[in-house]
Amino acid sequence: MKPMPEKSKARLPKGKRAILILLPLALVLAGLAAWQFAHREREYQLDSFAMGSYVQLTVWGREPEEGAAETVQRIEKLEREISWRRDGDIGKMNAQAGGEPVTVEDTGELLAELLELCERSGWALDITLGPVTRLWDFDGEPHLPDEKELEKALALVDYRKLSMDSEEYWYEVPTEDGYHLDCVGTKYHVSLKEPGMAIDLGAVGKGAACDEAAELIYREGISGMAASVGGSVCLRGEKPGGGPFRVSVRDPKGDQAGSLGVFELDGGYISTSGSYEKYFEQDGKRYHHILDPSTGRPAESGLVSVTVWCPPGMVARWPGALSDGLATACFVLGKTDGLALLESYGAEGLFIDENDVITVTEGLKDRFSLTAGGYSLGEAG
C-alpha cells in the first residue's frame, strides 16, 4: 500500500476560505428567502354586503385576492337566482305559479335537497312559506298580520304542491388536447301548482351562499378559507400553521355580552337560528321571525337558539344550505325531535332553551367551550 502523498498545494488563509464558502451560501439563502417571500402564504380579508347580509371572507394562500373578489360576485349571482325579490329562477317560479314550469339546473338541485329536508323534518320546514313570510314582513316593517289574511296565506303553503321533474342530458366539454369529455347534466322543470303560491328560501339563503363561497377552495393558490354570510359559516382547507378553526357563537342574551362560547372545528358548515335575532313587540308580546309552517306563527318549542354543524365529509350537495335549513327545522321541532333529525343526517348541534340550559350533541361536546356565565350544560338524548 502506497503512502498517501503529502498535500503540497498552497492554501488560502483560513478567513478568506471561510468567506469563499460562506458567500455563495449566503447568496443561496438570500435567494431562497426572496423566493419564499414572493410565494409566501398570505391572509386576505374581504368584507362586503351580499345576500341581504354582511359577508366576511378570510382567505389564506399564495394568491388570495382575486379568488376572494370572485367569490363575492358568485354570491351576488346566487342571490339573483334564489331570492324571491329578484327576477332569477325563484322569482320566475313564483311569477308563474299555477302555470308553466320553469326549467333550471343548479337551483333545481338545491330545491331537491331542501324538499327532502321538508319531508324528513315532518313539515318543520316549508320552502313554500312565501305567502306567510310576506305578511309578517320581518325584513321590512314587521307587524302582526290580520287573522283572516294569515289563514288565506297559510292555505297556499304546501311544499308537496311544488312539482319537479328532472331529465338528464349529455353535453361535451372540449379538452386542451383537442378531444372532448362527455358530461352528464340534470335539468329540472319546476312548477308551483296553485296561483298565489310562493317559494321563500330565506331560511337557507345564507347557508346556500356559504356553499357557493366554498368553491373557492378549488382555486389554485388557495390553501384555506373561512367565509361567513350573515351568521352562516363555511370552513374549508387549512389555516397556515395548522390548528382548528375557531368560531364563536353569539350569546342569545346579547345585551350582556357578545359571545356564548367557542367551537374549535377542522372544517364544515355552521348555521344558527335564534329567536333573538329578529323580532318585534306588539301589545306587550314578543314575535320572533322563525315561523312554524303548520301555524304560520312564530314557533314555540321552548328553544331560544339552535346551532347546527355539518361536518366535513357529510354526503350532501349543499351542506351549507342544509346546515341553515336544519337549524330552522330543529328550532321549530324543539329539542327532542330536533336531536333525532340531526342524528338522521349525521349532523351535530347545540341547543339553548328558555331556561338557559345548553345541550350539545356528542360529536361537538369536546369541540365547544362555554365562556358566558348564567348557563348550564344539559345532557343530550
Partner 1 sequence: MERRLFERRELLFVLAAALAAVIWLLISRSGPGGTRAVVERDGEIVLSRELGGLNEPETVEIAGANGVTLTVELSRDGARVKEADCPDGTCRRTGLITRAGESAVCLPGRVVVRLEGPKTDRSLDAETY
- Contact between 290 and 273 (Cβ < 8 Å): yes
Among 248, 336, 344, 369, binds partner 1 (CB under 8 A): 248
Q: Which lies closer to partner 1 via its Cβ, residue 191 or residue 307?
A: 307
**Residue 332 neighbours by CB distance under 10 Å:** 28
58 binding partner 1? (CB under 8 A): yes
Among 83, 128, 133, 272, binds partner 1 (CB under 8 A): 272
Rounded to the nearest whole angstrom, what is the least distance from the CB of residue 123 to partner 1 in the complex? 26
Rounded to the nearest whole angstrom, what is the least distance from the CB of residue 231 to partner 1 in the complex? 4
Q: Which lies closer to partner 1 via its Cβ, residue 161 or residue 367?
A: 367
53 binding partner 1? (CB under 8 A): yes
35 binding partner 1? (CB under 8 A): no
Among 27, 43, 98, 344, binds partner 1 (CB under 8 A): 43
- Contact between 132 and 159 (Cβ < 8 Å): no
Q: What span, in angstroms and rounded, lies between the C-alpha atoms of 140 and 81?
A: 21
361 binding partner 1? (CB under 8 A): no
The site for partner 1, by CB under 8 A, has a size of 47
Q: Which lies closer to partner 1 via its Cβ, residue 295 or residue 371?
A: 371
Q: What span, in angstroms and rounded, lies between the C-alpha atoms of 213 and 236?
A: 10
Rounded to the nearest whole angstrom, what is the least distance from the CB of residue 22 to partner 1 in the complex? 9
247 binding partner 1? (CB under 8 A): yes
Rounded to the nearest whole angstrom, what is the least distance from the CB of residue 153 to partner 1 in the complex? 22
Q: Which lies closer to partner 1 via its Cβ, residue 141 or residue 168?
A: 141
Rounded to the nearest whole angstrom, what is the least distance from the CB of residue 254 to partner 1 in the complex? 4
- Contact between 235 and 226 (Cβ < 8 Å): yes
Site string for partner 1, 110-149 (x = CB under 8 A): -------------------------------xx-------
* CA geometry: angle 209, 157, 328, nearest 5 deg: 40
Task: Quickly tell me which residue has 314557533 as its cell.
Answer: 299
Among 259, 282, 295, 369, binds partner 1 (CB under 8 A): 259
**Grid coordinates representing 6?**
503529502
356 binding partner 1? (CB under 8 A): no
Q: Which lies closer to partner 1 via its Cβ, residue 16 or residue 180?
A: 16
288 binding partner 1? (CB under 8 A): no
Stretch that binds partner 1, among 74-82, 192-200, 276-284, 338-346 (CB under 8 A): 276-284
Task: Quickly tell me which residue has 377552495 as its cell.
Answer: 217
SS (H, E, C) the chain: CCCCCCCCCCCCCHHHHHHHHHHHHHHHHHHHHHHHHHCCCEEEEEEEEECCEEEEEEEEECCHHHHHHHHHHHHHHHHHHHCCCCCCHHHHHHHCCCCCCEEECHHHHHHHHHHHHHHHCCCCCCCCCHHHHHHHCCCCCCCCCCHHHHHHHHCCCCHHHEEEEEEEEEEEEECCCCCEEEEEEEEEEEEECCCCCCCCCCCCHHHHHHHHHHHHHHCCCEEEEEEEECCEEEEEECCCCCCCEEEEEECCCCCCCCEEEEEEECCEEEEEEECCCCEEEECCEEEECCEECCCCEECCCCEEEEEEEECCCCCCCCHHHHHHHHHHHHHHHCHHHHHHHHHHHCCEEEEEECCCEEEECHHHHCCEEECCCCCEEECCC
Q: Which of residues 221-240 bind partner 1 (CB under 8 A)?
A: 226-228, 230-233, 235, 239
Among 212, 251, 292, 348, binds partner 1 (CB under 8 A): 251
Rounded to the nearest whole angstrom, what is the least distance from the CB of residue 162 to partner 1 in the complex? 29
Q: Which lies closer to partner 1 via its Cβ, residue 32 or residue 257?
A: 257
Among 277, 300, 343, 356, binds partner 1 (CB under 8 A): 277
Rounded to the nearest whole angstrom, what is the least distance from the CB of residue 52 to partner 1 in the complex? 7
Q: Residues interacting with partner 1, by CB under 8 A?
A: 13-15, 18-19, 43, 47-49, 52-54, 56, 58, 141-142, 226-228, 230-233, 235, 239, 245-251, 254-259, 262, 270-272, 274, 276-278, 307
